[in-house]
Amino acid sequence: MDAILVVNAGSSSVKFRVFKVENPQTLRQLVSGQVDGIGVRPTLKASGADDRKLVDRSYEAKDIPDVATAMRTAGAWLRSEQNLDFVAIGHRVVHGGPHYDRPVLVDEKVVADLERYVPLAPLHQPNNLAPIRVLLERFPDMPQVACFDTAFHRGHSEVAERYAIPDAFYAEGVRRYGFHGLSYEYVAQRLRELMPERSAWRTIVAHLGSGASMCAIADGRSIESTMGFTALDGLPMGTRPGQIDPGVVLYLLSEKGMSAAKVQDFLYKECGLKGLSGVSNDVRELLESGEPRAAVALDYFVYRIGLYAGYLAASLGGLDSFVFTAGIGERSAAMRTRIVEKLAWLGAELDPDANGNSSFRISRVDSRLAVYVVPTNEELMIAKHTVATLSGASWVDTAAKRTA
């Protein structure tokens, strides 16, 4: 069966989904899976469209030491045991830099261009590109599409995009990009589908997970984001600090004698909720912990979300709705309760029962600020972009006919 493969590769896992092309506008998910524990305790897990378990297989650490090998392992299983042949592959790529403002068909030149942004997203970009290189080498004729987390934000005004530094740096790409764009784009589309009469609402979407950010959206377009040049900025995250005075970085370099590489490692891996709490980077564990520093970390997280809500509301000139998405936003009623309390000045009033059930609308019907929970689906967004990018080619209609 022909299908589209979507790949979302991280530092210790490769997530994948497979979609059947019903027609150029309709995609049906066939398989969802991942290889995690790469290099430590690798496992391949996947389920079908009906959530039936298809595989749960463990490997020795030496058998899957890196992302590239994980991609080969998952691909071999999909082809040999699921009888899937792919007509195209879509990839999440975190940073598109100043030039890639939409999904693009990948070749060696594109990969070389994207490697320049590895220093701007060291946790993500190398791992995003690793499967692309593997597949270019093994299947050079296979269409691959790179979909960028930065692209959704590229319509920001110049004043929103700039830093107050000399113009030469802006010209070479030192600017505020924003991230989690595939998630925000999906949520914006879902809101338009679910509430077409309110598609022009001024909305803040909070993508709250191990990586966390918020985005101001008006009429389905990104207006402002909490993240900037890199994915370090804005909200505190699992292991990243969020907004920090640049003077702190200078202090680490000049007074603590840390190298640039050590500072980078520190900011990406040792800060955020992990650094504040000294306990964990996982909100679930912090909520269960009795350690005072765990409570401080959660208080700080909620406080900063409240601050940035005001910042983003100002960029929109007012606020009509607030949307939770991603792991914490979709699953933690306790954290939603605490955050909505910080939004009371904007008119938010929570419906406790709806919140406890993770309903679509979790605010009271008479709440001046409407509050929603919308599960994100970055992989479906990537699949749609893959079809759209290649829609002029004959393979789309041919694939739809073959898989009908």
**What is the set of active-site residues?**
149
Structural tokens at position 394: 């004959």
**What Å distances lie between residue 215 and 238, 288, 398, CA to CA?**
18, 29, 38
Beta bridge pairs of residue 48? 31
* Residue 270, CA atoms < 13 Å, CB-side half-sphere: 6
Matching residue, tokens 């930065």: 150
Give the other-Cβ count within 10 Å of 297's Cβ.
25
What does DSSP assign to residue 145?
E
Residue 370's region, left for phi above 0, alpha for psi from -120 to 50, else beta, is beta
Q: Select from 94, 83, 65, 86 the least CA-distant residue to 16.
A: 86
> How far, rounded to the nearest angstrom, does the alpha carbon of residue 269 sit from its chain's CA centroid?
17
Matching residue, tokens 């389905």: 220
| Beta carbons of 155 and 178 less than 8 angstroms apart | no
- Distance separating alpha carbons of residues 73 and 404, to the nearest angstrom: 28
Structural tokens at position 313: 């509301």
Where do runs of H (alpha helix) occur along 162-291?
167-171, 181-194, 246-254, 260-269, 272-277, 283-288
Structural tokens at position 81: 């045991």
- Distance separating alpha carbons of residues 199 and 259, to the nearest angstrom: 48
